[in-house]
Every structure is written in C-alpha cells, then in structure tokens.
Amino acid sequence: MDVGGKFGQSFVGRISAINLSTLEWAFGRHGDIVVALVGIVTGLMFVLLFVTQRKKLRLPQGPRSLPIIGNIHQLGNNAHTFLWKEAKKYGPIMYLRLGSEGLVVASSAEVALEFLKVQDKVWAGRESSTGMDMFTYNHLDIVGAPYGPYWLHLRKICTMELFTTKRLESFRPPRTDEFNQMIKSIMDDVEQGKIVDLAVKLGHVAMNNITRMLLNKRFYGLDASAQHQAYKFQELTSDLPNLATTRSMGDFVPWLKWVIIVSGLKSRMMKVKARADVLLQEFLEVKKNRKIINVKNDDVHYEDFVDVLMAQPAQDGTGHLSDNSIKAVILDMLVAGTDTVSITLEWAIAELLCHPHCAKELQAELDEVVGKDRIVTESDIPNLPYLNAVLKEVLRLYPPLPLNVTHVALEDTTVGGFDFVAGCLQVSVAQIFV
C-alpha cells in the first residue's frame, strides 16, 4: 500500500502543547518590552544556569537555542516538519529548549518504545500550563492527570465502563444518524448549487457525535436540543479547544508568568472556563433531577457517558465521583475528541483532491467492497485497506496534536545513554513520532 510516496514530501514527528499564534501574539504585542527588560537581567543568569546543568548531565544534541526563549522561535506553524528535519541531523533522541523547559523529541520506533512502553510509568507526568491547569480543574481529567491512584481510577472507569466495545456499539445508531444527516446536507447543498463548506459540516458531526455520547444531546443542525442551550454551547466550544491547549511564553519562562495576565490571555481563559463551568453544571443538575423523576415513572433511562460517570464511586471507592471530576472529563472529551477528528478528515479530503489518482483508487475500493447501492458503514472499515492507509498517511503528514500533549519525567532517568531529570528548572518532555 504505497500511499506514502504519492502524498509528496513525507514527514513525521511531533512535540508539546503550545499555541504558537498566541505565543506570537503575547510575545509580539507586549513581548518586545518584556524581553528587553527581563532579557538583560535574566539572560546571563539563565545562560549560567543552563551551562552548569549541561555540565552535570549527558543531554542529547539539538538545534542551537537562544537565551530565555530557547528554540520556541524555530517551531513555527509546522513544528513537526521542523523537528523531523532536525532529527535527521541530531538523531532519534534530540534535545530542545522551550523557555526554561527541556524538550526531548523521540524520532524512531525503538526510542518511542523505550519512552512510552518500557519507561511508561517514569514518563507519565503531564506538563502544567495556565490553560491546562484551569480547564482540567487542576488536573482532575484524564489527559492532564499525572500517573497515580487518581489517574488509575479514571483509567479503570474508561476501560471498564466507557470505552467498552458494548458501550461504543450502543452509540452506533446516533453516530450513524449524524453521518447520514451530514451526507444529506451535502447532497442538499449540491442540488441547490451551493458551495459545500465541508470543514463546518465535519466540525458539526464530530461535535454532535461526542455530545450525543456524553450527554445524549446534539447542539448543531436541525432539531438541536434546546436552542438556547445549543447557542450557549456553540459559543463556548468555538473558543474552548484553542484556549485550553494554548501555552504562552509565560508558561515556559517562569519570570514571564505575568505576561499571561498583562496580555489578557488569563482573563479570556477565566471567562470561558466560567461559562463552561456554568453550562456543564446545568447539565449535571438536570441529570440529577431527572434521575429522581425516572425512578418514579419507571422510565427507561438512556445511559450516556455522563450518566455512567455520575454512577461511579470516588477514588477511595466510596460515594460518587465529584462534579468537578466529571466536568473535567467532559471538557477533556470536548477538547480531545472533536477538532482532532474533523481536522484529520478535512486534511484527508484536501489531500485526495490534490491527488486524484489516490481518490480514484479509493473510489474503486469502495465500489468493489461496498458497491453503489448502499452507504459505507463502520463494519466495512476492516475490509477497506486502502482507506485505512489513506487515513494513516494523513495522520502522519498532519498530526492534529503535534505539540499539544507531552510526557514529563516523574523521576530522574536515563534513556539511550542520556540523562533526564524530573522537576526543577529542566522539566523533560518527550513526544514521540507517529
């Protein structure tokens, strides 16, 4: 299945969580003054600190870094491409600096295996940032919780209750419904000679797919439940994923933490977080009340993720998972499970349009396996190797989370003869290639 070569220049690689446009913004507007002032004072100090650290530790090589900001300025919009190129020079374990944090980039299967499998418990910490701390209710979610009893508890709920084959299968009808509604709306647009805005449609399907699973609600399209709520929800989710994953200069350089406040970023985050909290709490309260009514009316209650979460005990095995934990997990899935999916599909269509011979081959496979009389379904997927290859290639070329979710060493460790320290000034963050 040689889709790889056909999609032109191939590249791999990805790292941590920075919204570079925001970095630029925070840095560009207020940063020049900031850097001028703080730079003079701390530049020398930092270089000294860095040099002494380098002496003690055997660190991997990496591209030259500037004082204070390190390599942040080099990452640009296509960080994974930059890292892929640099890794060719510096090898499968490469070291960069993002402000005062160290960044380790793993770029081969063996090295990835060492970080993520052999040493998975060592590299099971998560980075801290203003957005991450705020939107995860201080790491009460799945993505942001460090390895430990709490994360294990959530993980167990996920594997035993949420992401079971049976549960995911029970959400197949709403998923299929969303899919069919999208196809219909595309056909309608085509019939009316309208331009099809696929990005918008894919975004809506991805969001409805997740919210029907989470809350048994859809917030986009016709008959979206409770229009007023839908409006509030749409307003919220337009800012949410970006803000929650934004890391600004102040997150990387402790002395510049105040930039997050001065630039207004923190207050924007706080506003959106407050809106999210109110809306999510409303959902929880409705569910708490409905439970009582249901018991009375002997209704069959359609069980969604939030119902399941609300029925789980807290970490110590007693009582219930706290509202904050549940809200953190909901936010996780809204952030992790929507844009990732729709952006990947958008790139897939874009690449297929640019490579008609691949599109033709894919169409031929679909015609042969599915035929022209019905719509493709989830159960067809294992029988569509070319489709699978196309999607893997798209994820390789356009990883939707190139620098967003990283691993932090919880204790000092050695990988490939190099030393990495936990905590202190130099937090080591590893991100592995796809």
**Chain contacts with ligand NAG (rule: CB under 6 A):** 18-20, 168, 175, 205-206, 209, 241-242, 245, 337, 339-341, 400-401, 403-404
- Window contacting ligand HEM (CB under 6 A); options: 41-49, 238-246, 315-323, 400-408: 400-408
CB of 41 to ligand HEM, least distance (A): 37
Helix H or strand E encompassing 260: helix 257-262
Residues 202-231 that bind ligand HEM (CB under 6 A): 210
Provide the 3-class DSSP secondary structure of residue 103: strand
Nearest to 210 by CA among 241, 183, 187, 246: 241
Helix H or strand E encompassing 419: strand 418-420
Residue 143 touching ligand HEM (CB under 6 A): yes
CB of 344 to ligand NAG, least distance (A): 9
Q: Which does 19 bind (CB under 5 to 8 A by kind): ligand HEM, ligand NAG, none?
A: ligand NAG
Residue 240 touching ligand HEM (CB under 6 A): no
Q: Residue count of the chain, please give it.
A: 434
- CA dihedral (260, 265, 268, 273) positive or negative: negative
CB-nearer residue toward ligand NAG: 401 or 421 = 401
Q: Which does 242 bind (CB under 5 to 8 A by kind): ligand HEM, ligand NAG, none?
A: ligand NAG
Q: Which does 344 bind (CB under 5 to 8 A by kind): ligand NAG, ligand HEM, none?
A: ligand HEM
Residue 401 touching ligand HEM (CB under 6 A): yes
What's the angle, vertex CA 348, arms to CA 17 and CA 175, rounded to 5?
85
Q: In angstroms, rounded to a whole number, what is the distance separating the alpha carbons of residues 245 and 372?
A: 42
CB 96 within 8 A of CB 70: yes
Residue 39 touching ligand HEM (CB under 6 A): no
Inter-CA distances, 232 with 155, 164, 228, 333, Å: 30, 31, 6, 18
CB 260 within 8 A of CB 130: yes
CB of 158 to ligand HEM, least distance (A): 7
Chain residues in the site for ligand HEM (CB under 6 A): 142-143, 210, 332-333, 336-337, 340-341, 344, 400-401, 405
